[in-house]
């Protein structure tokens, strides 16, 4: 069974940093594109970042470019999102999601980031 | 970015009756490879999103056949043939034809 389990969320002050993790199991992690998608409280879904199977190709939404870094450790079957210079508007549940037959077939349960003074 | 517009934003439904959600894109979603990358997602209260439909009409594994997707170009529809209580939640369309992928605002389906 495909499983994606996010962790690392919490409360951070504006300007702070945090690293999210997504532990994968049940599939060959190193073969798939993986994304981060976020959802602000009571709001819709927004794509944040993606990484290719070997980690050599990364892309970011304009809203996080230069502040967030996506990476992966295929030996540990884990995806990361390093978030720096956090803003109040980054407050959201962050989901990792895997592609198959198109975008976002499988989703994790999400981890909540709150950026507040 | 491609703008995805859903209607209605709130959909009161009657159990056992059909329901329909519309999704319009600001550009055609026909890719140069001939495919149309339009997905539908369901998000039940307190849960993660779940993909129901990909390539505008293909149903994901395990999705009940009461869910169907149709449309072309810029106009797409998600239909539920007979609404069940477990179908309550928010439904999102999403396009993957143009970069970056973008979602509709969501349609809240609730039992009236």
* Model pLDDT for residues B67-112, shown as the tens digit of each residue: 999 999 999 999 999 999 999 999 999 999 999 999 999 999 999 8
Q: What is the CA radius of gyration of chain B?
A: 13
Contact A95 B58 (CB under 8 A): no
Angle at the Cα of A115 (from B48 to B91), degrees rounded to 5?
A: 25
Contact B48 A95 (CB under 8 A): yes
The answer to whether residue A77 scores a pLDDT higher than 90 is: yes
* Chain A nearest C-alpha distance from B75 (Å): 19
**A59 touching chain B per CB within 8 A:** yes
The confidence band for B8, taking pLDDT boundaries of 50, 70 and 90, is: very high
State how beta strands B75-80 and A34-39 pair.
unpaired
Contact B54 A101 (CB under 8 A): yes
* Cβ contact A108:A22 at 8 Å: yes
- The owner of tokens 């532990």 is A23
Average pLDDT in chain A: 97
What six digits make up the tokens of B91?
């439904």
* Chain B nearest C-alpha distance from A48 (Å): 9
* Chain A nearest C-alpha distance from B16 (Å): 27
Query: What was the pLDDT predicted at A19?
Result: 98
The size of the A-B interface in CB pairs under 8 A is 52
List CB contacts of B70: < 8 A, sequence separation 6 or more.
B56, B57, B76, B77, B79
* Cβ contact B45:B88 at 8 Å: yes
Contact B103 A108 (CB under 8 A): no
Q: How far is CA A82 from the centre of its chain?
A: 9
Q: What share of chain B is helix, strand, coil (3-state, %, to 5)?
A: 5, 50, 45
The confidence band for A100, taking pLDDT boundaries of 50, 70 and 90, is: confident
């Amino acid at each position: 069974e495909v499983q994606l389990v996010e962790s690392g969320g919490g409360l951070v002050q504006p300007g702070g940093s945090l690293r999210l993790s997504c532990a994968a199991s049940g599939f060959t992690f190193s073969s798939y594109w993986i994304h981060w998608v976020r959802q602000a409280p009571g709001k819709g879904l927004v794509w944040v970042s993606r990484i290719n199977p070997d980690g050599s190709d990364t892309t970011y939404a304009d809203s996080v470019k230069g502040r967030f870094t996506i990476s992966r450790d295929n030996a540990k079957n884990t995806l990361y999102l390093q978030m720096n210079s956090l803003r109040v508007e980054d407050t959201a549940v962050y989901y990792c999601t895997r592609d198959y037959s198109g975008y976002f077939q499988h989703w994790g349960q999400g981890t909540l980031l709150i950026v507040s003074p | 970015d491609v703008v995805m517009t859903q209607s209605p934003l709130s959909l009161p439904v009657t159990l056992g009756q059909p329901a329909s959600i519309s999704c319009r894109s600001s550009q055609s979603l026909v890719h140069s490879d001939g495919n149309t990358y339009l997905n539908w997602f369901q998000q039940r209260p307190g849960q993660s999103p779940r993909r129901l439909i990909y390539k505008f009409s293909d149903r994901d594994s395990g999705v009940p056949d009461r869910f169907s997707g149709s449309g072309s170009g810029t106009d797409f529809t998600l239909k539920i043939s007979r609404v069940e209580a477990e179908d309550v939640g928010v439904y999102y369309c999403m396009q993957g034809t143009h970069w970056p992928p973008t979602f509709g605002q969501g349609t809240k389906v609730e039992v009236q």
